[in-house]
Structure 1
């Protein structure tokens, strides 16, 4: 029995089941390809944004300080995404496309309220993992692309792994694009100034922004909380997918989780230690819908989609990991 199966079996034997008002996401199988490498993808094309500052409360479609230029579009590097084994609009019937149809359906049903009564912010979905290398960025990007291919769903993809910003590289976001961190610094930069429209009509991207020495503090600040409330309310008709840092390697991941309604927890089959899974789940609040996605689970399509929907995990492992978490470099004086 694999470590993942043992973890799920322990949850079941412990009787950790959600109440009727929080019925779990339906059982499904996620048989994903190998996690995306950290090498940056081919750059896309985007018109640099040099605009006057405006009111933070003015959203992407509000009466902001300027109108978005017609050519202000980010071209997704579709050939590079396909070469990485990722989902693209040109391969709607590929294996990876079918797998993410299975993954996204219960998430969308929760947003529509069929199984998430009493859970706030169900349109905020955080994709995370216990450790680096489990495949959470690969999963987050594919999830966003898959949902954006729905005819009636618009997706805002947020690169919230600000220390690495690897999702932005893969999606072709130009270097030094303003983003999440810049909005939180409150320098007159608004969401309207930072959200990128892509050439996939239903997909927008909020880049990580320029790395700052106070990134951790900014992500845990009142400004971040206010921004999450604004995103959920102002864009309540959108699905907002966050690529988050690993829960056990950074402190900001657990803070970010507190703002979410749904957590997609990625586990590398037979690689992620069971103790790491258990400890990481303890960093997530009891009022969240949590789905466990098995990455690299080849040949298990009819076997297991591990779902850890217990509320209040009581396992206390003092587990030392010793894993480093590579970061983008930032000057001591401020933004990079």
Structure 2
């Protein structure tokens, strides 16, 4: 027998052995008791498997602010700021008189090309004349209205003082918003326990503040805040006019300007120079503050410039 024939015979023998082993295994399986039925999945597993996947979140879900601060109204009243709980004081009455023509003009019909009247800049000729004090008091007085909300913006980016005056810590704000297009207004705006008042801090100090305030980003921002809510008044606490260039740039966006003049403090020359810098700006008015009618009292007055 040849080698090939021997190999073929060996393969056939192995094939026969394998078939025999399979037949034996089948007979052995037939003699075993039947297997128990498969376990039924429990109710929890079945319910979980049947639960549909949660719907995907919308791609453009509205962003909600989480920044909330508590104003210490008793402290504010103690340092001479307007508060609703302060009663009918001379200060409260003064700012009621001051705000009335500003509010009337804020929501009057605008001619084509006019700046939004609800954008009000409060400034002064020099530091220390009370512009931040007037800005906060004006904002608090308007917040007491039944039909309006107020956004107070600290735009004195070189020497911000709104948060410090209110006893609040520093926070991101206007400059950060203009520098980072990924920031949203809700990321930097502070809601307060006065429901109708919100605050936008000055934010990070920046050497390019003047260029940022004159940028397209600032124009877009101003347009948005002026038109987003029909009942909103926006008050800008501006830098002094005679020390920085930011105030002049900021004034170009405003519908109304209030120039704070300190009684027996601001010189006539400073007032004239400030008004000269505001030439071309409509609705420039004067707040004559710290007048002393009686010893130990200070009052405010409002005049058209």
- TM-aligned CA deviation for residue 162 of structure 1: 1.1
Match of 2:104 among 100, 109, 132: 109
- TM-aligned CA deviation for residue 237 of structure 1: 2.4
- TM-aligned CA deviation for residue 210 of structure 1: 1.4
The aligned residue for residue 98 of structure 1 is: 93
1:207 is aligned to 2:204? no
Task: Sort the Cα spacing of 1:232 and 1:285 in 2 relative to 1 into closer, same or farther, 3 A.
Answer: farther
1:155 is aligned to 2:150? yes
1:132 is aligned to 2:127? yes
Q: What aligned pairs does 1:273-288 form with structure 2 within 5 A after superposition?
A: 273-288=267-282
1:269·1:295 contact (CA, 8 Å) conserved in 2?
A: yes
Deviations 1:176-208 (A, max 9, x none): x11100000025111121111100010001111
- Runs (5+) with no aligned partner, structure 2: 1-59
- TM-aligned CA deviation for residue 117 of structure 1: 5.5
Give the number of equivalent residue pairs.
243
The aligned residue for residue 75 of structure 2 is: 80
Deviations 1:238-260 (A, max 9, x none): 00001000011100100000100
The aligned residue for residue 26 of structure 1 is: none
The aligned residue for residue 218 of structure 2 is: 224
Work out the CA distance in 2 between the residues paired with 1:193 and 1:104: 29
- TM-aligned CA deviation for residue 73 of structure 1: 2.1
TM-score w.r.t. length of structure 1: 0.67
Work out the CA distance in 2 between the residues paired with 1:252 and 1:132: 14
Task: Sort the Cα spacing of 1:228 and 1:302 in 2 relative to 1 into closer, same or farther, 3 A.
Answer: closer
Q: Which of the pair is proportionally richer in helix? A: 2
CA RMSD of aligned residues (A): 2.4
Work out the CA distance in 2 between the residues paired with 1:110 and 1:229: 18
3-state SS of paired residue (1:120):
coil
| Greater RCO (CA < 8 Å, at least 6 residues apart) | 1
- TM-aligned CA deviation for residue 292 of structure 1: 0.5
Work out the CA distance in 2 between the residues paired with 1:302 and 1:170: 19
> Higher Cα Rg: structure 1 or 2?
2
Task: Sort the Cα spacing of 1:82 and 1:152 in 2 relative to 1 into closer, same or farther, 3 A.
Answer: same
TM-score w.r.t. length of structure 2: 0.74
1:196 is aligned to 2:193? no
